[in-house]
Every structure is written in structure tokens, then in C-alpha cells.
Amino acid sequence: MATAQQIRIAYIDFVLTNDEKPKTVYSFAKKLKITEAEFYQFYSSFESIEKTIWFDLTFETISKIKDQEVWHQYTSREKMLSFFYSYLEKLKSERSFVIYSLKDYQGKFSIPNVLAGVKPIFENFAQEIIDEGLDSGELAERKFLTKRYKDALWVQFSFIVNFWINDDSDGFEKSDEAIEKGINVTFDLFQHSPIDNLIDYGKFLSRNGKFKEKMGF
């Protein structure tokens, strides 16, 4: 009887060899010398195999970086940078599959079905980092906008993965640059700025109207 891992390996080999999914579960199971029932014990469809692969790549990356001794010493910005650098290193081991899996979604704005399980786990991870940054004062608390921070990081996730897929530079050095610039710009927007100080000052003045009158304003 095949295991989930054996089915997964056989599926990856098939799609990378044929550049398409097997025609049916029956034909794929027959090639693997198992029954359809045995296949369905582990996966509900070929798409579910791909979803599992993507989920595992993401979950394993998050688990690995959180186990690092220096993790708790990092700022929120450094934690997100660490994730993306580590994630692309992880994806390198499955680069051919990653390119195949996302080939039909290049240039589209919709979330690929195969990333359906990745989005919630990434956003939960991002929210943890954001909350830590808000608690420490590293990030600015902004009415209506703070809750959208994780959405901005998901946009960076999509951009960076797609950039890496199309990166033909030596050692994917342009992807590293994309991570550095993209995450730094995003976290610059999350942090306090002169505009925040101006808004706070405006709130102070509005709360102290009587004081302004006494001062002759």
C-alpha cells in the first residue's frame, strides 16, 4: 500500500515529466499499482496534493525560523525578512514544481486555488508579527489601517513568489533585493512617521479647544 509521501512524489514526477495532471485518478493509481480507494485515503483530488505541498512548504519554513535562538531578538521587520529569505531557500528544492503549479496563474490577480491553505497560515503568522510590533511600539497603531497590515504583507508574499519564479539572475540575487526593498518599504509605512505626529498634534489641539482660546488662538 502506498503512503501519502509516495503518492506525492509520484504525482510531482508525473506532472514535471508530462507538464500536465494525470487524466484520471484511476489511471494514476493504476500506474502506482494501488487502488482508487487507497488514493482517496490520503487525498481527495490532484489539487489537494498540490495544496498539501504548498501548505507544508510554508508551515515548515515558519516552524524552522521560529526555532532559531535569535528569533526572539528580531524586530518585526527582521522576522518578516527572515521568513521570506528562508521561504525562497525552501522553494528552491521544489522550484520546478512551484513553476508548474503556478503556471496558469501568472499575471492574474486572483489567489491560486493551490494557495488556499497557505493564505490563512501566512496571515496568522503575519498578524503575530504585527501584534508584537504594535505592542513594542515599533509599528504604528492607525485607526482603520492597522487591520489591513496583514493584507499588505500578503500582497508582498504574492509579489515576491511571482518575482522569484521569473528571476533568472545568478543565485536569484534579484529576488533577495526584491525582498529587501519590498519588506523595508512596507514596514516603513507601518512605522510612525511625521504625518502620524501631525495627526496626533491635531487630535491634541481638538481635545484642548478651551486651552487654545485662552492662549488667544
Helix axes 149-165 and 173-190, enclosed angle (nearest 10): 170
Mean pLDDT of the chain: 90
Share of the chain above pLDDT 70, in %: 86
3-state secondary structure of 171: helix
Share of the chain above pLDDT 90, in %: 79
Summarised one tens digit per residue, pLDDT across range 40-76 is 999 999 999 999 999 999 999 999 999 999 999 999 9
The pLDDT, as a whole number, for residue 106 is 66
Give the pLDDT band (50/70/90) at residue 217.
very low
The pLDDT, as a whole number, for residue 143 is 82
Comparing 2 with 209, the larger pLDDT belongs to 2
pTM of this prediction?
A: 0.86
In 3D space, the residue among 45, 57, 41 whose CA is nearest the CA of residue 93 turns out to be 57
In 3D space, the residue among 148, 171, 151, 161 whose CA is nearest the CA of residue 84 turns out to be 161
**Please, are residues 199 and 206 in contact by the beta-carbon 8 Å criterion?**
no
The grid coordinates listed for 87 are 521561504
Average pLDDT on 200-211 reads: 59
Give the pLDDT band (50/70/90) at residue 207.
low
Spell out a b/e string for 46-67, using b for 16 or more CB atoms within 10 Å of the CB, else e.
beebbbbbbbebbeebbebbee
Max CA separation in the chain (angstroms) = 89
The pLDDT, as a whole number, for residue 110 is 67
Judged by average pLDDT, the poorest of 37-41, 75-79, 212-216 is 212-216
- Residue 137, pLDDT > 80, answer yes
